[in-house]
Amino acid sequence: MFENLSDRLGGVFGKLTRQGALTDDDIATALREVRVALLEADVSLPVARNFVKSVTEKARGQAVTKSVTPGQQVVKIVHDELVHVLAGEGKSPELRIDNPPAPVLMVGLQGSGKTTTTAKLAKRLKDREGKRVLMASLDTRRPAAMEQLAVLGTQVGVDTLPIVPGQTPVQIANRAKQQATLGGYDVVMLDTAGRLHIDDELMAEVEAVRDAAKPRETLLVVDGLTGQDAVNVAEQFDGRVGISGVVLTRMDGDGRGGAALSMRAVTGKPIRFVGLGEKMDALEEFHPERIAGRILGMGDIVSLVEKARETLEAEQAERMMKRFQKGQFNMNDLKGQLEQMIKMGGMSGLMGMMPGMQKMSKQLDEAGLDDRMLRRQIALIDSMTKKERRNPDLLQASRKKRIAAGAGLEVSDLNKLLKMHRQMADVMKKMGGMGKKGLLRGGLG
Ligand code: GDP
């Protein structure tokens, strides 16, 4: 599905070999291709549209490094955004299987790989977490499916509930729970019946089983090769039965993850595992990075840009240190520091490494310099003219009002920022005098 994406991007980015900042034209051209490729890969239109919008915003105004082309830089941004969309907000939670016997309901269409995945997951829980697992097939209409689970159970060394002909799925579910309690099992996995298509009868049956079993996890198994269909299936199952996570199978196939991309964005449900083959150990935890890598197929470029960016940051840091050593510290330097703080998640950045600044950085941290506040301060600096940034003493009352208004803030906010700058500049000046003695060098190593 996604072969096209690498090809298309390769073609476009090949042309973007000029050095220099990314122009809006560069970005627009490249992202038109990304959008077409996503749609061809069966990613839903709103997801593709949002994706492109978000990448565009991030690509604008990117600092450009000497050793990479604008095209390569876009690849990196696309990659990061893929990871972001795949991962959703926050990390995928662990399976909630702590209260034994924890029922895990496996649902999905016939042929999606549900039975195989049930056995794979049981094996995984047994091998990696030392859980005692009992599996039961509820597919009363297909005796072969029940047999299949029993065979797989023997193969992976996981118990299956003995088959009793004539029982309903709900009866089997109840018997499985009972058996799991009596037998001291940690987890009881219920492999529900599938159909070729979603129909009312199937949903009613799964609902009844759910009500009887009260599962801690309801995992939907879907075929990763089916793209948009997989997402529709997920939405329908979630609407009727409620699912807690998704397992995407056949991710070892030619498809390169279109379903994964839409799944998270459309359903909001975490992808828990991916199936990577028919073997019983071909089940992997879901790693957004890996899937993004596969979708894009441009791992080399991604790491190249990562390295180049590190170099650029080192160069910037060095330039800044040189200025500090000369006792120079204007609003641009302050902005650089604030940006650094946002990135480092606190004051542990450059400043934190310098003797004399550690105390102040601690004070700033304690003053509640959170991201939002840092961004506001940057907005204030951005509202100043170049001249004012180099020499904030020029600021008159009327300009202060304009600048504060420009950033949507009060003059008192601006005054606080100016005070902070003055204090820091003072420290820099003092330290500048000591620079020759090598005081500053120690900090950067
Ligand atoms: P069910 O009807 O949903 O229970 O599907 P099965 O578990 O019987 O699987 C159907 C077929 O898909 C079997 O031949 C499995 O070996 C195969 N299968 C399941 N998961 C994967 C996977 O992740 N990759 C590949 N290549 N094949 C898989």
* Domains of the chain, each with CATH number or no CATH: 3-90 (1.20.120.140), 102-285 (3.40.50.300), 326-444 (1.10.260.30)
* C-alpha 329 to ligand 1 mean position (Å): 63
pLDDT at position 434, please? 57
Q: Please state the atom number of ligand 1 nearest to the C-alpha of residue 110.
A: 2
Q: What is the per-residue pLDDT for 67?
A: 64
Residue nearest to atom 23 of ligand 1 (CA): 275
Residue-wise DSSP of 254-277: S--SHHHHHHHHHH-PPEEEEE-S
pLDDT given at position 5: 60
Q: Which atom of ligand 1 is nearest to the CA of 283?
A: 23
Looking at residue 364, its pLDDT comes to 60
Residues 6 or more apart whose CB falls under 8 angstroms from that of 131 comprise 97, 125, 186, 187
Q: Measured in angstroms, how far is the CA atom of residue 412 from the centroid of ligand 1? A: 64
**321: closest CA among 411, 174, 428?**
428
**What's the pLDDT score for residue 3?**
53
Ligand 1 mean position to 144 CA, how many Å? 14
Q: Is 416 in contact with 439 (CB distance < 8 Å)?
A: no
- Nearest residue by C-alpha to atom 16 in ligand 1: 278
331 burial level (CB within 10 Å; 0-12, 13-18, 19+): buried
At residue 436, the pLDDT reads 47
* Residues annotated in a binding site: 108-115, 191-195, 249-252
Residue 239 Cα to ligand 1 middle (Å) = 25
- Å from CA of 219 to ligand 1 middle: 15
Q: H or E stretch including 247?
A: strand 245-249
Ligand 1 probe mutation, 116, 118, 152, 252, most atoms within 8 A of CB: 116
Pocket of ligand 1 (CB under 6 A): 108, 110-116, 194, 249-250, 252-253, 275-278, 282
What SS3 state is found at 253? Answer: coil
In ligand 1, the atom with minimum distance to the C-alpha of 120 is 20
Measured between alpha carbons, how far is residue 251 from residues 51, 150, 316 in Å? Answer: 22, 25, 41
Give the residue numbers of the binding site for GTP.
Answer: 108-115, 191-195, 249-252
Biggest alpha carbon distance in the chain? 90
- The strand order across the sheet containing 187-191 reads 159-160, 133-137, 187-191, 102-108, 217-223, 245-249, 271-275, 283-285
- Token pair for residue 173? 């579910």
User: Across the 445 residues of the chain, what is the mean pLDDT of every consecutive 10-residue run?
Assistant: 56 59 75 79 83 84 64 79 80 81 96 96 95 96 93 97 95 97 97 87 94 96 88 92 94 72 85 92 87 68 63 73 79 83 58 53 59 84 91 90 90 91 81 52 39
Report the nearest atom of ligand 1 relative to the CA of 139.
4
* Residue 223 CA, ligand 1 centroid: distance in Å: 9
Which pLDDT does position 357 carry in this prediction?
56
Beta strands in 82-216 (DSSP E): 102-108, 133-137, 159-160, 187-191
What is the rounded distance in angstroms from the CA atom of residue 173 to the CA atom of residue 20? 64
What is the 75 CA–ligand 1 centroid distance (Å)?
33
Give the position, in ligand 1's atom list, of the atom nearest the Cα of 249: 23
